[in-house]
Amino acid sequence: MSELDWAKLLLLWVTASFTLKPFIHRDRTVELIRGPFFMLPLHFAKHQTTVASLKKSIKEIVPKVTDALTLLISSVVTAAVNESTKLLLQEWGKHMDMIRRGQESAVKAATKAAMEISKLKFECDKVEQTTRKTNIIIRGIPLTNGENTKKVVVDLAAEMGVEMKEQDISVSYRLPGKRGRVHEAEDQHRSRNIFVKFVRYETKLQIMGNKKRLRSIDGKNRVFIEEDLTPLRGKILRQVRMDPEIKRAWTMDGNICCIIKDNDQEMKKTIYSGDELISKLGWSAEKAQSVGIYVDFP
């Protein structure tokens, strides 16, 4: 109750006291009615004391309640933030997994595409190598003024024990040097490779079968005869020759042939496809890719 309510109650008590005073000795009932009104001041004083005590208690309790509420709110907020953070991290993890799976899928698709392209590239290279079936490259013959390269080739064949005529050669010429110059005076004492295209494949086979005889002919032991290879096969052959496990490497109809040292034994192996660089020579993925070959590695 407010102080105004208590004042109204006190006024009512005073009025009742004076109104009922003449009947105080006449009727016990009146006394019983009047009694509580006479006790109102005592109740009022007691109430004032209680209010003061409550105010004091409230002043003491409010900081504690405030601290408790602050702690409770902080705990609730912290729990809510942690839960939200956990959910966000879970969602983030799901998105990262999706991205990772997408990347892995893209890498697999790209690798598969690269392997398919590599296989097609090797097949196309086979076709191109077939067009060079009757060609050879001769290295180590010095350049002379006014030379006839067909006659040079015929004379070299005769020294190897192969009979042939200039008519057996379809085309022959000196390949240009690194600077694209062939007939300058400064290049006359340098040997430029000779390109030769035979009319018949059999003639080429005779030349390739007798080229070892050059090692025993004076002045011709530094002359080398090789097949005319595509850039891809030439790159593979150079890489094979650099392998310390390979004793010797050459080509036959564009296929890479080599002698592999295996303990005290020597084994001949022929490479017909890009996959066999792995299965027969034990190349790594990086080494195969360095020459443009992508295969499905086991």
Q: Are residues 128 and 143 in the same domain?
A: no
Going by pLDDT thresholds of 50, 70 and 90, the confidence category of residue 133 is very high
Q: Are residues 58 and 117 in the same domain?
A: yes
Name which residue leads in pLDDT, 12 or 97: 97
Q: Are residues 181 and 203 in the same domain?
A: yes
> Mean of the per-residue pLDDT values for the chain?
79
Q: Are residues 141 and 177 in the same domain?
A: yes
The predicted pLDDT at position 196 comes to: 96
- Both tokens of 11, joined, read 């006024």
Going by pLDDT thresholds of 50, 70 and 90, the confidence category of residue 278 is confident
pLDDT tens per residue across span 190-232 = 678 999 999 999 999 999 999 999 988 888 888 999 999 999 8
Kindly report the CATH number assigned to the domain that includes residue 197: 3.30.70.330
Residue that terminates a domain, selected from 132, 149, 170: 132
DSSP element (H, E) containing 267:
strand 265-271
Q: Is residue 2 part of a domain?
A: no
Q: Are residues 142 and 222 in the same domain?
A: yes
Q: For residues 294 and 291, what is the distance between their CA atoms, to the nearest angstrom?
A: 9
Vertex 123 angle, CA 117 and 124, to 5°:
85
Q: Is residue 25 part of a domain?
A: no
Q: Is residue 150 part of a domain?
A: yes
Q: Mark residue 97 as left, alpha or beta (left: phi above 0; alpha: psi -120 to 50; beta: remaining).
A: alpha
* Maximum mean pLDDT: which of 17-21, 22-26, 203-207: 203-207
Instruction: Please tell me the pTM assigned to this model.
Output: 0.60
Q: Is residue 8 part of a domain?
A: no
Q: Is residue 49 part of a domain?
A: yes
The predicted pLDDT at position 32 comes to: 47
Residue that terminates a domain, selected from 132, 155, 175: 132
Q: Are residues 221 and 180 in the same domain?
A: yes
Q: Are residues 87 and 125 in the same domain?
A: yes
The whole domain housing 149 covers 135-228
Q: Are residues 234 and 222 in the same domain?
A: no
Q: For residues 228 and 137, what is the distance between their CA atoms, to the nearest angstrom?
A: 6
Q: Are residues 265 and 209 in the same domain?
A: no
Q: Is residue 4 part of a domain?
A: no
Residue that terminates a domain, selected from 113, 132, 151: 132
Least confident of 168-172, 197-201, 261-265: 261-265
Q: Are residues 224 and 147 in the same domain?
A: yes
Count of domains in the chain? 3
Residue 162 has, within 13 A of its CA and on its CB side, a CA count of 23
Q: What percent of the chain has pLDDT over 90?
A: 28
Q: Are residues 204 and 283 in the same domain?
A: no
Q: Is residue 31 part of a domain?
A: no
Query: φ and ψ at 141, to 5 degrees?
Result: -90, 120
Residue pair 287/159 in contact (Cβ under 8 Å)? The answer is: no
Classify residue 199 as exposed, middle or buried by CB count within 10 Å of its CB (0-12, 13-18, 19+).
Answer: middle
Q: Is residue 9 part of a domain?
A: no
How large is the average pLDDT for residues 3-8? Answer: 58
Q: Are residues 153 and 198 in the same domain?
A: yes
